[in-house]
Amino acid sequence: MQKPAVVLLPGALFYDSWAAAMRAQKKSIAAFAKANELNYLTVKLFATGASNGEKAETVRAAMVAEVGEELVQMLYQKGLRDLGAVA
């Protein structure tokens, strides 16, 4: 049985999980930013929740779609376990 998905909250863990997924798939964060008409720093700000409006939510959804929700969920949940936040 698959573990239930957790809610992906913006923050450092979300960004780190997504960035790891991008690296694992040999994808460029800079290329993602350019394709979405953003700069690298804006992507990071949206991912970490420094900016949390409608556009930030849309970009976070695109970030997850870029690498696949299953992979981001797996890395995010591993990060939560490593932090001792979940069993």
> pLDDT value at position 3?
62
From CA 28, how far away is CA 21, in angstroms rounded?
Answer: 10
> At how many degrees (to 10) do helices 54-67 and 40-48 cross?
100
Question: Domain extents for the chain?
Answer: 12-83
Contact 35, 65 (CB under 8 A): no
From CA 68, how far away is CA 25, in angstroms rounded?
Answer: 10
3-state secondary structure of 9: coil
Does residue 76 surpass a pLDDT of 60? yes
pLDDT level of residue 5 (50, 70, 90 thresholds)? confident
**pLDDT (tens digit, 9 = 90+) per residue, 8-58?**
999 999 999 999 999 999 999 999 999 999 999 999 999 999 989 999 999
